[in-house]
Structure 1
Amino acid sequence: MEAILRRHWPEWNGTLQKRTGGWNNTTYFVKSARRSGVLRVYDTHRDRDKIEFEHTVLQALSKHSLSFRVPMPMRTVTGETVVQLEMEGGKYVCLFEYIEGKSPLEQDSSFAYSFGEVTGVLSAVLATFKLELTPVYRPYYALQQSYPLCNQEIVREVCLNPPEPLKALHDELRWIGKVYEEITDSLHALEELPHQLVHGDLNASNLLVKDSDHSQVTALLDFEFCTLDVRAMEPAVILSGFLGQPEETQAVREFCRGFCRRVHLSRTEIDALPVLMLLRKVDVFLHFLSRFLEGTDQPHVLQEQVKQVSADLLQLSTKGSWIQEELVRSDS
């Protein structure tokens, strides 16, 4: 990686420190006497179009005066923002300018209001974009097209007759399979909801808060999955992620207040929120099931995801309508 940095971004040459975590990419912090950056290696796909769309969105966002920062891809000596490695199976690499801030603590919900507000700002700005490039990622409701290894028959078989590594999770898989079948019948109706560009994966791990004030979000990160989707999918992803947190009630309420200051969803969109939140969790399951079937992950990864998704779906079955009511109250 140091050689790649010297060759393509010589002005950023410095020491590399590998960052832990992340399912889809490997990240290195780049530190030199003059500046700091973040080097990203895309591990799970070799699709240049996906990366170029992400960078186009980020460059368009940089032209707006935002109250928060987003990653800015740095150009190489030849003027590109992405490099393909000759080794590592042809993986792609890009460099971003470092953004000051820190990841919020899991038990901290003080940033929820600010998170809602900046998400609303982002949503409003993305709604105005008319980009020449076509998004590569499909909307959440296009499950069959997004996960060709996980068609309805395969998902049903895995959930009803788990393979050996998953046999101990029979009850959890039955519950996931039940919810999957239920939302499948609702997916077509989602196509009629208002659409726009959405980030699609906003959560606590993809934002930074100020070092001096953890209640203020200073940056939104990781736009890799940005695509054209249902507008209400953006808050649905975030709200579903608050479940199970120590202060989930406060977090949901404050996020809704902040978001509704900037975006007003229609009643039809709010009515769809419970299905959209369930869809997010089912999508996570299919993502990791696909990785398991193609041999990307060891069984223990899918086992942990099955436990988590099952628990989240159970919570949504009892709290989905309450979250919906909070959004209605905040929007009135």
Structure 2
Amino acid sequence: MNGTIGGEFAAFLDAYDWSSPWRAEREESGMNNTTRMIYAGDERYVLRVYDNHRDEAIVRVEHAVLLALIGQDMDIRVPEPVRNQGGSTVTQGPEGKLAALYRYIEGRRPSPDNPAHIRGLGEAASKLSSRLAAAQIDVKPLYDAYYRFEETHRAMTNERLAELAHTLRLPDAESEQVEAMVRLRAELRLAANRAAKLPHQWIHGDIVFTNSVAAADRIVGLLDFEFATVDVRAMELAVVLAEFPGPDAGTALNRIGLFCEGYGEGVRLGTEEADMLPALMQMRMMDVFLHFAGRLADGVDVPEVWRGQIERTSFVCGWIERNRLELNRIFRETLT
């Protein structure tokens, strides 16, 4: 028997074997997907409905990475996909939407205001990086490496960006931010050539506080492997580090130092990897900037979404430039 709350998810949940009636509750949901907490007797699960694509191959790559990690000895938990009645970890709804059911990882979201959580997230990222480097993952990644932003977003030429900015009638300050990102783009093309020569491996690709789970002061789980791909090893750090810049540079640099101390406990980078981290952080932001420009051009997002990304990405990239010397010192001292 199905639960009465969240019955609209029955098309997905009826594909699984249940020992008790299920109940779906709205608790938390990500930006790209709809999630529901599923209660069945004493068991808890998370149903994830993929809203941003209907490509089963993408989900299967994600699950291949997760299943390779679950078989390893790792004290950081990752989502465990549940097989449906057909033996698959991917379930398709009647309208073509895809979903997956995962066993629940007990805990709560960590806080960037808690130093133990910041350092712990660094430790968790290094443990995951080590396991991913050793894992046997026999699938081809479907997402490009972040440093290949030009290939990923080839349709978003500088001319197309200028057209979008003109169509939106952006105020002078935002137009200048777009122009600054275009200038930075030319510099990052050269840096991307150097990045291509750095050590590569599978990475999570989206380790942030909202994609992790804490118990007290410990980070106990990492979630949302949808963007897992093969990239520069150091890009795993760059993605997280790009989240820290804020108006108080001292606070941001302190948090970056804590995270890197935690990461450096488990994985040491080469000098060239550490020195390229500021540029890798900017490449991550450039990828975000171009991604949301493309979504606007395709009519997926309203203009306010890209305008918010213009402000954030230009701020972060400028912040990195202003603090590059201190960042390089932190990275050398904690990571090499």
- The TM-score, its normalising length taken from structure 1, stands at 0.92
Quote the Cα distance in structure 2 between the aligned partners of 1:256 and 1:106: 14
- Structure 1 counterpart SS, 2:59: helix
Kept in 1, the 8 Å contact 2:145–2:232? The answer is yes
Q: 2:318 aligns with which of 310, 314, 319?
A: 314
Corresponding residue SS for 1:68 = coil
CA distance in 1, matches of 2:29, 2:42: 27
Q: Name the structure 1 match of 2:24.
A: 16
Deviation at 1:145, TM superposition (A): 2.6
| Structure 2 residue identity aligned to 1:239 | L
1:281 alignment counterpart:
285
The residue type equivalent to 1:304 in the other structure is G
1:293 equivalent in alignment to 2:297: yes
Answer yes or no: is the 8 Å Cα contact 1:6–1:13 preserved in 2.
no
Question: Do structure 1's residue 207 and structure 2's residue 212 form an aligned pair?
Answer: yes
Cα distance in structure 2, aligned partners of 1:66 and 1:119: 12
Distance 2:163 2:280 in 1: 23
- Which of 230, 255, 259 aligns to 2:259? It is 255
The answer on whether the counterparts of 1:107 and 1:245 sit within 8 Å (CA) in structure 2 is no
Aligned equivalents of 1:17 and 1:147: distance in 2?
37
Match of 2:167 in 1: 163
Q: One-letter code of the match for 1:289? A: A
Stretch of structure 1 that moved more, 4-13 or 188-197: 4-13
Deviation at 1:153, TM superposition (A): 3.8
**Matched position secondary structure for 1:219:** strand
Contact 1:25 1:40 in 2 (8 A): yes
CA-to-aligned-CA distance 1:27-77 (integer Å, 9 cap, x gap):
111123221111111111121111101101101100112121111111001
- C-alpha spacing 1:152/1:165, structure 2 compared with 1 (3 Å): closer
Of 190, 197, 211 in structure 1, the residue corresponding to residue 202 of structure 2 is 197
Residue 150 of structure 1 is matched in structure 2 by 156
Q: Tell me how far 1:138 sits from its aligned partner.
A: 0.9
The partner residue of 2:223 within 204, 221, 224 is: 221
Q: Which has the larger displacement, 302-311 or 99-108? A: 99-108
Partner of 1:138: 144
- 2:10 aligned residue: 3
Q: Tell me the distance in 2 between the aligned counterparts of 1:163 and 1:296.
A: 16
Tell me the amino acid that sits aligned with residue 295 of structure 1.
Answer: G
- Which 4+ residue blocks in structure 1 deviate beyond 4 angstroms? none
Change (3 A) 1:129 1:151: farther
Aligned 8 A contact 1:73 1:96 in 2 = yes
- Which one of 89, 98, 101 corresponds to residue 81 of structure 1? 89
CA contact (8 A) 1:110 1:251 kept: no
Q: CA deviation at 1:181?
A: 2.1
Query: Against the structure 1 CA distance between its residues 284 and 328, is the aligned structure 2 distance closer, same or farther, given a 3 Å change threshold?
Result: same
- 2:119 aligns with 113
Which residue, 56, 62, 65 being the options, matches 1:54?
62
Separation in 2, partners of 1:45, 1:165: 30
Match of 2:240 in 1: 238
1:69 maps onto 2:77 in alignment: yes
Distance of 2:190 and 2:234 partners within structure 1:
19
Q: Structure 1 residues 20 and 245, CA, compared in 2 at 3 Å: closer, same or farther?
A: farther
Residue of structure 2 aligned with 1:101, choices 102, 107, 111: 107
* Structure 1 gap segments, 5+ residues each: none
Residue 138 of structure 1 aligns with an amino acid whose one-letter code is: D
Count of residues in Structure 1 that have an aligned counterpart in Structure 2: 325
Amino acid at match of 1:124: S
Instruction: Rate the CA distance shift 1:165–1:22 in 2: closer, same or farther, 3 A.
Output: farther
Unmatched tracts of structure 2, length 5 or more: 1-7
Alpha-carbon RMSD across the aligned residues, in angstroms, is: 1.9
Partner of 1:331: 335
TM-score (normalised: structure 2): 0.91
Asked if residue 185 in structure 1 is aligned to residue 212 in structure 2, the reply is no
In the alignment, the residues of structure 1 paired with residue 90 and residue 121 of structure 2 have an alpha-carbon distance, to the nearest angstrom, of 29
Structure 2 residue 33 is the aligned partner of structure 1 residue 28: no
Which residue pairs with 2:51 in the alignment? 43
User: How far apart, CA to CA, are the structure 2 residues paired with 1:277 and 1:6?
Assistant: 39
Q: Structure 1 residues 70, 165: closer, same or farther in 2, change over 3 A? A: farther
Q: Is the 8 A contact 2:68 2:136 kept in 1?
A: no
The corresponding residue for 1:270 is 274
Q: CA deviation at 1:185?
A: 2.4
**What corresponds to 2:5 in structure 1?**
none
One-letter amino acid of the counterpart of residue 202, structure 1: I
Q: State the Cα distance separating 1:285 from its structure 2 match.
A: 0.8
Shift of the 270–6 alpha-carbon distance from structure 1 to 2, 3 Å rule, reads: closer
Q: 3-state DSSP class of the match of 2:52? A: coil
